[in-house]
Amino acid sequence: MDLDGNWEYGFGFYNRGNYPEYGAYAHHFPAVENQHVYFPLHPFQFGTVHIHPDNGKAIPMFSHDDLYSVLKIRDVYTANTFLNNNNLNGDALFVSVLVVIQNDIKHTYAIKIDDISKLRSLEALKANEEDWIDFGNEMSEAYAGDDGDGTNGSAYEYQVALLKFIEDNDLGVSLYEMNQTNPGPNVAETWDKLTLSNTTVIKTPCN
């Protein structure tokens, strides 16, 4: 994914397993409004991947809208009886992946659901426009810290800020980071689950 530019773009993860010619695949979505990607809600969509461009304006970490999208994707997918009955992974299936550049280094993160009842707390905030804006501003301020505008921090600073924000708001989601080795056709990908101990980020391999 090319992160140079002013526009987001991304892909929806689709599972159309009731059609043998499909299965799981990624469907491209360009930015359409205000330079952001808005993923339509489809009953066969189980996740998304998108970028925040490296343009000095977009905060290179998950937004409150990204967190909310995981909840809505989950709800629409599980409302489909066929797909829900054939989902052996429960809420662990649903994911939001983000590719960003932090301090000149590309990082790939994922958000997954731990406790759907806690994540539902976002619904009340989303229902009130002013509350939702305030919640987004609170998240942006967490990334900015005591200095700066939130666009020039290190990966570690963003990780700590997001993990603390998730913990303080009891959002019921977990943060993961992808590692790549052997670049090229033999690339290998592994994931670490990131957790916070005081102000220390703990990385636990999960595959």
Q: Within a domain: residue 27?
A: yes
| Ramachandran angles phi, psi of 185, nearest 5° | -65, -20
Number of domains in the chain: 1
Entry field: residues in the chain: 207
In a domain, 1, yes or no: no
- Comparing 52 with 92, the larger pLDDT belongs to 92
92 part of a folded domain: yes
Residue 55 placed within a domain: yes
Would you state the structure tokens that stand for residue 51, as one six-digit string? Answer: 């970028």
Supply the pTM of this predicted model: 0.88
Instruction: Flag whether 3 is in a domain.
Output: no
Read off the pLDDT of residues 74-123 as tens digits, 9 standing for 90 and up. Answer: 999 999 998 888 888 999 999 999 999 898 888 999 999 999 999 999 99
Domain that holds residue 109: 9-205
Residue 145 lies in a domain: yes
Q: Specify the pLDDT at position 115.
A: 98
**Burial (CB count within 10 angstroms: exposed 0-12, middle 13-18, buried 19+), residue 127:** exposed
The arrangement of strands across the sheet holding 24-30 comes to 24-30, 9-15, 45-51, 95-102, 105-113, 173-181, 188-197, 200-205
- Separation of alpha carbons 99 and 106, rounded Å: 7
- The reply to whether 196 falls in a domain is yes
Tokens linked to 171:
């959002």
SS (H, E, C) 45-80: EEEEEEECCCCCCCCCCCCHHHHHHHHHHHHHHHCC
- Condensed to tens digits (0 to 9), the pLDDT of residues 142-194 reads 998 765 567 888 999 999 999 999 999 999 999 999 998 777 777 788 999 99
